[in-house]
Chains A and B, each alone.
Chain A
Amino acid sequence: MRTAILLAGMLLSSTVLADANAIGYVKTLNGEASITTAGKKVKAEVGTAIFQGSQLKTAAKSSMGITFKDETVMSFGPDTELTVDEYLYNPSQNKLKLGSKLTKGSLNYVSGVIAKLQPSAVTVTTPTGTIGVRGTQFAVRVEE
């Protein structure tokens, strides 16, 4: 996977993309975490791709950081579950959306270009309330 991305990256000559649907990548990892996309679960490693619909999970005593294409940065503490429900990043056509759902654990969030261009397009939903993001860094914790 990684080699394929690198190769395609080197051979790239037009707008054809290596992993056109990737919306972000794992950048930091401590301990154990997993990424589940369309029912397929993979062990997270630095460089693992994230897609729309991916479910991200960290184990006990673990943490993970993700950077998205629009420069949104999310990092998770232990025992955390977050799903990226909607992700659209196409500024030239004004298609912008970042909707995620935190069901448990802790999340540190630094908003990116989507929040800058269209603040109302960015939300984090939790079991008890929804967070609207206006260009900022915040931290959110969900305890069951």
Chain B
Amino acid sequence: MIINVILSLISANLLIFIIFLSKKIQKIKNEKCVLDQQLVQSQKLAAIGQLSSGIAHEINNPLAIINQEAEISLHLLDSTNLKFEEQNKELKDSLSQIKIQIKRCREITHRLLSFARKNDPIIQQTDVNALIEDMALLVEKEAKLKSIVLIRKYSPELPLINTDPPLLRQVILNLLNNAMQAIEKEGEIFITTSFNPSKIEISIKDTGSGISKRNLDKIFDPFFTTKPPGKGTGLGLSICIAIINKLGGNINVESKEGQGSNFIINLPIFYTF
């Protein structure tokens, strides 16, 4: 009888213990899953970064030569007396077009190079609220024209952090610009900052079109874009995540199609390599 009671007590406790353990395991599994995803993402970025910066570098030199030759040709056309005025004009137009297209290519190669820039961040003590506000002011005029309202919720006690200010500015401006494009017309962008003892959090949330589940996994991939050809290089967000990773932080996205998106940046207060 007593043995039975003891046994049932043990088994009850054992059951509780097993439930506790399995919950713990599930939690660790989930965390591992997130970490694995981040690892794959950062490895993928590193590989593509290396490849693309190599290509960008190699293409820049021939581009520079083509540009120079086009300039020389334009110059020659100006100084020679061509009989046929109409052909002369057509030649000039076509050379100018070459120059325009070279500029476009150079824009892409520069973005690629900045994406994979090897130099280490320069760390300065930074007031993140002020940094974000500067970028908010920069987009506000354009936002007003589209009836988009920026709503700030800056934590007044946000600590200064050690980070690379121009790199962080680039990310904030990119995310604000994306938020504006996702809204198109009439909507709100919420900019929030908060912190805990080791990290600060920046959230940029819009009431725009949101991201479909299918696209959510791909938005940080280089060259992934939902914009029509020529309207976006698809490098914006991949540059953002590469920068934030370099600064010791991470970006998470919460989004549902038709219900807007929330981009959440975590950054360490004390930066270490």
Asked if A and B bind, the verdict is: no
